[in-house]
Amino acid sequence: MKRVLVATGGGDCPGLNAVIRAIVYRASIEKDWEVLGSIQSFDGILKDETEVKVLDKDAVRGIHYRGGTIIGTTTKGGPFAWPVKKEDGSYEFEDRSDYMMDKLKELGVEAVISIGGDGSQRISQKLYEKGMNIIGVPKTIDNDLKATDFTFGFQTAVEVATDAVDKLNTTAASHNRILILEVMGRDAGWIALNSALAGGAEVCIIPEIPYDINKVVERIRRRYDKDGRGFANIVIAEGAKPLGGSALAEEYGEIGNENLKLSGAADRLARELKAAGITADIRTTVLGHIQRGGIPCAFDRNLATSFGVKAFEMVLEKQYGQMVAYRNFEVISVPLEEAIGSQKLVEPDSQMIHTAKGVGIAFGD
C-alpha cells in the first residue's frame, strides 16, 4: 500500500472537507493507495506522539457540505517553527523539519498534500526544497492569491456577507440609521467589494483604496439630502485604512496570529463619521468568523472537489513542488515557488470598481 498524507493548515475555510473527500474518493479508484490525515495540520506528525487518521471512504462520506475540517487545523507553529516551552514559561521555536521527514519515512508516506493558505504553501515550498514529495492546494476566504482566479471558501464568505448587507438594509431603513458592516479579507478587499456590490451598499471601503472621510461624509449627506433616503449601508473591509493612516492590524499587530484579536475598522469609521458631524444613528456589525464557518456554497464545493481530484492525480504524476490552481475555467498546476507571496489585490481602476461606481457606490476616493 502506498500512502499519501493530507494536512489542512492555517485558518479554516468552507470547502476543506470537500477537498479531503475528493482526495480520498479519487485515491480509492487506484486500489493501492491509502490516505492518512495529519491531525491539527502537521502537528499530528511533529508531536512526539504521532496523531494521524486513516481516511477511507467511510470516514469522508457526506462531509462535502460540512464546514471546517474533519482533521483539524492550526495557525501556529509548523515544521520550521515548532514551539518548545522553556523553563521560564516562555517559548522558543525549533526547526523540526528533519524530524518530520524521518517520521514520514517511518510511516511509509510517499507524498504529502498540504491544503492551506499562503503561509502553509511557503512551508510546502521549503519542505519541497528539503526533498519532500509535496503538493499544495490553496485555500483562503480572502481570494487574494495571484496564482488562482478563485480559492474555495471565498464565494461562501461573499454569500454570508451579502446576506448580512440584505438584512442590515431592512433594519437600517426602518430606523433611519447608518449601519456599518465590517467584513474579513485581511489586507484585500474582495469580500467587501463583492458583497457591497451584490447587496447594494452606498459606501464600500477597501484597503486598496484609502478613504478620505470627507468623501464618505459627502456620499452619506447626498444619500440623505439629495436621494431623500434616510438610511445608509456601509461595507468596510477589516484592513481598511484612512488616507495617510494605516490599517488597525498594522498598528496593533498582524491579523490572525494572536490569541486575542479585536477588530476595529467599523468602529473607527463610526467615530470618524460622528466627529465629522453626521447626526444620524450609527451602529456597527462585525461579521467575523461567521464568514468562515458553516456550509460551503455549491461553487466552493465543486471547486474544492476539483482541487482534491487534481491534487491526487498530481501525486500519481509525481508533480511535486506544484500547487493546484484554477485559471480560465480550468484546474491546472503551477510551481509553488511562483504561487507563494504573490498577492492579488483589488485594482482601483478595475472593471469591478468601475461597475460599483456605475451604480453609485462610493469608495471614499
Shortest CB 256 distance to ligand F6P, Å: 3
- Using CB under 6 A as the binding rule, whether residue 75 contacts ligand F6P is answered as yes
| 221 annotated as ligand-binding | no
Would residue 142 show up in a list of annotated catalytic residues for this protein? yes
Site for ligand F6P in 107-136 (CB under 6 A): none
Site for ligand F6P in 258-317 (CB under 6 A): 261, 292
**31 is written with which cell numbers?**
486500489
Q: Which is nearer to ligand F6P, 11 or 207 (CB)?
A: 11
> What is the sign, positive or negative, of the torsion defined by CA atoms of 321, 327, 330, 331?
positive
Shortest CB 320 distance to ligand F6P, Å: 26
Shortest CB 150 distance to ligand F6P, Å: 15
Q: Which of 34, 43, 142, 182 binds ligand F6P (CB under 6 A)?
A: 142
Please give the distance of CA 237 from its chain centroid, rounded to a whole number. 13
Piece of the chain touching ligand F6P by CB under 6 A; list 139-147, 209-217, 267-275, 297-305: 139-147
Nearest to 159 by CA among 295, 1, 39, 271: 295
Q: Which is nearer to ligand F6P, 10 or 199 (CB)?
A: 10
> What is the sign, positive or negative, of the torsion defined by CA atoms of 104, 109, 110, 115?
negative
| 11 annotated as ligand-binding | yes
Compute φ and ψ for 200, nearest 5 degrees. Answer: 70, 45
| C-alpha distances in Å from residue 272, one per residue of 192, 195, 266 | 19, 23, 10
- Using CB under 6 A as the binding rule, whether residue 184 contacts ligand F6P is answered as yes
Shortest CB 137 distance to ligand F6P, Å: 15
Q: Which is nearer to ligand F6P, 184 or 356 (CB)?
A: 184
Kindly name the residue from 12, 43, 142, 144 that is annotated as catalytic.
142
Q: Which of 20, 22, 141, 269 binds ligand F6P (CB under 6 A)?
A: 141
Q: Which of 121, 140, 162, 306 binds ligand F6P (CB under 6 A)?
A: 140
Q: Residue 2: enclosing H or E segment and its boundaries? A: strand 2-8
| 117 annotated as ligand-binding | yes
Shortest CB 122 distance to ligand F6P, Å: 14
| 294 annotated as ligand-binding | no
Q: Which is nearer to ligand F6P, 26 or 292 (CB)?
A: 292
Contact 255, 10 (CB under 8 A): no
Got the DSSP string for 77-133? Answer: --TTSEEEE-TTS-EEEE--HHHHHHHHHHTTEEEEEEEE-HHHHHHHHHHHHTT--
| C-alpha distances in Å from residue 172, one per residue of 138, 176, 279 | 37, 6, 15
Got the DSSP string for 21-62? Answer: HHHHHHHHHTSSEEEEEETTTTHHHHSSS--EEE--HHHHTT
- Using CB under 6 A as the binding rule, whether residue 186 contacts ligand F6P is answered as yes
Piece of the chain touching ligand F6P by CB under 6 A; list 99-107, 140-148, 217-225, 326-334: 140-148
Residue nearest to ligand F6P (CB): 256
Question: How many Å apart are CA 296 and CA 89, to the nearest integer?
Answer: 40
**318 is written with which cell numbers?**
509525481
Where along the sequence are the contacts to ligand F6P (CB under 6 A)? Answer: 11, 75, 140-142, 184-186, 238, 255-256, 261, 292
Catalytic residues: 142
